[in-house]
Structure 1
């Protein structure tokens, strides 16, 4: 299974740490986030990879070039950011018409990725996406999902004051070939995956909840927790 890792962001909330380091390369316990992703994905039998870059792109280029994964990574620099859906749509040929992964690479994720793949293989037939979810201690700061008794998403609550639960969208997805084809036809002009795609697929997204550590390292507090 091929994976597109989104790694082009500025990491504004992590400044000054990201003033001179792209967010995807901030170290967790001495290892850059992007390196953790590539190592764990490879161990689960996933790859090859595509990584989009923008902010401090030359540092990401240098990291990949000196990494053990350089032969399995294709780097795509965006001089103007396309948005999460825009990047996916621009690079649909990368998936060769098969199911593939879309990953926000600025999360620290220790989930069982092989288990995630198995969940996708056994999803309800109508589901076009399998979404990784996790329990958060701060639900009002996350996108909270509601599920039916089969684990299918029936509602989204994006950063609201009192969401109905604490099960959050981890922004790590397995997309079916059918969904990727829809991106190429019905949703060709979409830019943001969360607001322009996911909301249209309520009732057709399967949830895989990880019990392992999952953290958005977007703030100094969560970054410190990841390194604790």
Structure 2
């Protein structure tokens, strides 16, 4: 299995924080968000990973050149954002004939990823080509809500509608079979995965529910809440130069100041 971590976003809703630091590397309990994702993938034995970059690409590149990542994580720069489908198509040779895990690296997901992967390989309904992680959204009007059949297969999508039919939402974490990439290549006009690719596969998208933590850290309020989430990484060993510079970076003070608006 290979993986794509989408880390190129502008983080518009996180301003002013993203004026000085990329969204994908925002501190979560003192550690950069992208480090959580790479730790998850490494733990699951996924050691062939592609990260796309655009905004503050130089900072993301420096992060990925650290010794613990540089031998198994590749990165690609997008001068113009391609959308998830566009990124997959552009890098089709990297993924071809492989099952892929795709995740938006500006979300925080803490759950049993081994069970998520096992569900895709061993328990998803026959003839499904995608397994989508879902979660219970507390504000359904702000999420992409899914409707499921009795087998947990997606039968309809409702993207940020005023009267959603439930609370189960797309977490934007997927495991995808090679035929999906093949279809994307056959349709070169496609750019967006959730609104253009997924609808084509309605009836063939299995689901797995994350009952632990899934959080979009796209606003200062949500990023503040993430600081209390019970996700863990092993403690840092000897600090490398990147870690030392990160710990001194003004982003920590800026986040602390911005967070005060949301702390009772």
TM-score (norm 2): 0.84
Deviating above 3 A after TM superposition, structure 1's stretches of 4 or more consecutive aligned residues are none
Report the 3-state secondary structure (helix = DSSP H, G, I; strand = E; otherwise coil) of the residue aligned with 2:68: coil
Please tell me the root mean square deviation across aligned C-alpha atoms, in Å.
1.0
Unaligned regions of 5+ residues in structure 2, if any? 229-264
Partner residue, 1:123? 124
Q: How does 1:40-189 map to 2 (within 5 A)?
A: 40-121=40-121, 122-185=123-186, 187-189=187-189
Over residues 100-152 of structure 1, what are the superposed CA-to-partner deviations in whole Å (9 max), with x where a residue is unaligned?
11111100110211111111012112111100111111110000001111010
Report the 3-state secondary structure (helix = DSSP H, G, I; strand = E; otherwise coil) of the residue aligned with 1:132: strand
Moved more, 165-174 or 65-74: 65-74
- Asked if structure 1 preserves the Cα contact closer than 8 Å seen for 2:145 and 2:170, the reply is yes
Partner residue, 1:219? 219
- Asked if structure 1 preserves the Cα contact closer than 8 Å seen for 2:136 and 2:167, the reply is yes
- Asked if structure 1 preserves the Cα contact closer than 8 Å seen for 2:96 and 2:181, the reply is no
TM-score (norm 1): 0.97
CA distance in 2, matches of 1:67, 1:138: 40
- Asked if structure 1 preserves the Cα contact closer than 8 Å seen for 2:12 and 2:18, the reply is yes
Q: Which has the larger radius of gyration?
A: 2
CA distance in 2, matches of 1:17, 1:66: 24
CA distance in 2, matches of 1:217, 1:44: 23
Over residues 167-202 of structure 1, what are the superposed CA-to-partner deviations in whole Å (9 max), with x where a residue is unaligned?
1101011110121211222x2220111111111111
Report the 3-state secondary structure (helix = DSSP H, G, I; strand = E; otherwise coil) of the residue aligned with 1:190: coil
CA distance in 2, matches of 1:22, 1:176: 30
Over residues 41-91 of structure 1, what are the superposed CA-to-partner deviations in whole Å (9 max), with x where a residue is unaligned?
111112310000000000000111125111101110011111111011111
CA distance in 1, matches of 2:216, 2:67: 24
CA distance in 2, matches of 1:96, 1:177: 7
Partner residue, 1:13? 13
CA distance in 2, matches of 1:46, 1:167: 27
Report the 3-state secondary structure (helix = DSSP H, G, I; strand = E; otherwise coil) of the residue aligned with 2:155: strand
Total equivalences in the alignment: 227
Unaligned regions of 5+ residues in structure 1, if any? none
